[in-house]
Chains A and B, each alone.
Chain A
Amino acid sequence: MTQQTITPITTEEFDFMSETPRSLWGDAAREFRRSRTGMLGLFIVILVLFIAITAQWIAPYDYAAQDWLALRQPPSVEHPMGTDAVGRDLFSRVLVSIQTAILVGIIVSVIVGIVGTLVGATAALVGGIVDTVIIWVMDAILNFPTLWLAAFVSVVARPPISQLTRSLYESTGWEIWQNTIVLDYGVVFTVLAFVSWAPLGRLVRGQVLSLREKEFIEAQMAIGASRWWITTRHLIPNVMGPMIVQLSIGIGGVMLAESALSFLGIGIQPPGASLGNLIAIGMESWRSDPHLVAMPGMVLAFIILSFVFVGDALNDALNPRIRER
């Protein structure tokens, strides 16, 4: 027999755990901070959000105010982005349009998030014929050219939504339902949500399918959790990571799509503000006043790029890594 006895040693003696618990979200935040593009993107996103909220107040001129003494001015100190054919300050118009872009981006993303998760999770958990049908629907949506589909849906959706706003006006009497801008928004939300939910649905379905096989879900069954509990407490939270990444990169796509629709005349129309229709108006005189196209275009590009940077950095940060000892 060896001489040694087994002395109990408490972990305090060689404690190499960090000072505070490191949750996966905390770890992710730390990783995110390391990414320079991510932080830059985040900075711009926060700036953009700030503008979206305060546009009305910080814009130097009114969105529709026409200054006949300053027609078609190139960028200057008084008009940082110049003016258009009827003397409206482009900078102010861009600021207000950002509001639209963000509003559409966020609301559509929320709708897509909810719908995509519900449908995707249902497909994965119920399985069988339900799953087959849902995949079929998602594939159908994904196979159509996006813009074509969006145009089609917007044309098709306009009458019923118009009907809806009319009846809402009749029942509540609020002036707001009469505003064409509200109608435009309604159509745009519907169209974009319809076109964008399928990729997220696919993602959620895939994630749930793979998570379902993991032992910690089996363990949940063993301890007596109901399917609802497992789904809401364990499956969905673990799907959040990839979902957030998809949504943040997707926001850029949504904003671009909204601009495209507005540019084509089937999205937000004047007097509504949108970078898309600013570009459309600017196109009429792009040779003589290129700033009218370039400015809104560049702003749009920057905003989308920032969201993409953020989404990319989130992607790198959110993969749970096991630190083995």
Chain B
Amino acid sequence: MIDSIQTHDTKPKPDNDKILLKVQGLKMHFKGPRKSIFPWQGNKMIKAVDGVDFEIKSGQTLGLVGESGCGKSTLGRAVLQLKRPTAGQVIFEGRDLCKLTGNELRITRRRAQIIFQDSYASLDPRRSIGYTIGEPLLFSGMTDAKIRRERINELLHLVGLNPNYENRYPHEFSGGQRQRVNIARALATDPSFIVADEPVSALDVSVQAQVVNLMRSIQVRTGIAYLFISHDLRVVRYISDHVAVMYLGRVVESAPTETLFSNPQHPYTQALLESIPEPKWEKDAKHEALKGEIPSALDSPTGCSFASRCPFVMPHCRTIDPELTLLASEENHHVACHLITEPNHLNES
């Protein structure tokens, strides 16, 4: 296994500004418990994803961060139609995935793959990893076993695993190695886009770095785009070109990575950054914690979903939902916050 492929340090700027994936108004609403004992009053709705827009260009990475209940994992699956969205459009390589079904969807979906957090549960425990990596190839019509074998070897090599291990079973590998297998499988059909749902969260720190390096080098080599979902801003910073922060089903801030980390505008983003423990010794480090708890997605209050915990909350925030607006001063930096966009309300009692 060859670690830290040293041939690339920087990601070249993508030379085509082609928008690979455009998501608009995506919603995932689930039926919750009944409002009362009378069935005709209907059910409460769980708005896991409540109107999300974003774009990803070829060869770029969008980092999606948020804490539990923000809907990021649901969003990842909804984009790939693994769970059908309640509303919205997912335009991938020019076609709206939400409108595709059956065979058409299956074929188009080969170009968009997914990697999960649990590296063991993502693999069939009774199949060798060679079989698992080769299976997508069967669906693309690569029926010749010899050609498949070659491609499997190629993929194993690409992810830094010894090709001799193709007959081994998932439980014989470590977590980091299994994740490499998952990456190899995702790459088998030569996709242009991969959704990575917390791919390194379950791994040891030193192994996390290995896998992130691998993903970056693959991106440089193949020009693949990632939707990198994670709760860990530290990891997201190293792999993303652009970051979107989610809270209770909505995007509250999105900006190019540098900008988000150096100049966060939304109070939630600021609180997140303040909460992250940094692996650096600091004398008398004191960090303020954000008060309160993440509210349940069941009783979504009116107004801004963050109002209950926001240190800068104004009365206006509790009644009107802030829209994601472009900040005039920055490039592609969007915020959904009344404080930023309508500061005149600050003076209301």
Contacts and interface: CB of A to CB of B under 8 A. Distances in A.
Asked if A and B touch directly (CB within 8 angstroms), the answer is yes
B3 A8 contact: yes
Nearest to A323: B171
B109 interface: yes
A223 B113 contact: yes
Residue with the highest number of chain B CB atoms closer than 10 Å, among A22, A219, A225:
A219
Contacts of A12: 162
B3 A9 contact: yes
A325 interface: yes
B345 interface: no
A24 B171 contact: yes
A325 B174 contact: yes
Contacts of A8: 2-4, 6
B120 interface: yes
Contacts of B54: none
A232 interface: no
Contact of A219 (B116, B126, B162): B116
Q: How would you classify the secondary structure of chain B's contact residues: helix, strand, loop or mixed?
A: loop
A145 interface: no
Q: How would you classify the secondary structure of chain A's contact residues: helix, strand, loop or mixed?
A: loop
A222 B112 CA distance: 8
A238 interface: yes
A10 B126 CA distance: 27
Contacts of A215: 116, 118, 121-122
Contacts of B136: 223-224
Residue with the highest number of chain B CB atoms closer than 10 Å, among A8, A224, A234:
A224
Contact of B6 (A6, A21, A216, A323): A6
B172 A21 contact: yes
B2 A21 contact: no
A65 interface: no
Contacts of B4: 6, 8
A163 to B, nearest CB: 45
Nearest to A222: B114
A174 B77 CA distance: 61
Contacts of A225: 135, 139
A321 interface: yes
Contacts of A323: 171-172
Contacts of B2: 8, 10
Interface residues of A, number: 34
B110 interface: yes
Contact of A10 (B1, B109, B128, B172): B1
A23 B135 contact: no
A24 B109 contact: no
Given A24-B126, A215-B121, A18 B172 contact: yes
Contact of B185 (A21, A223, A238, A320): A223
Interface in A2-24: 6, 8-12, 17-18, 21-24
Given A224-B107, A225-B139, A238-B126, A22 B169 contact: yes
Residue with the highest number of chain B CB atoms closer than 10 Å, among A21, A214, A222, A234:
A222
Contact of B3 (A6, A218, A222): A6
Given A223-B110, A226-B106, 19 more contacts: A8-B2, A10-B162, A17-B172, A22-B169, A215-B116, A215-B122, A216-B121, A219-B114, A219-B116, A219-B182, A222-B113, A224-B107, A224-B110, A234-B124, A234-B127, A237-B126, A238-B126, A320-B171, A322-B120
The 6 residue pairs across chains A and B that have the minimum distance between CB atoms? A223-B136, A215-B122, A215-B116, A11-B1, A224-B106, A215-B121
Interface of A: 6, 8-12, 17-18, 21-25, 214-216, 218-226, 234, 237-238, 320-325
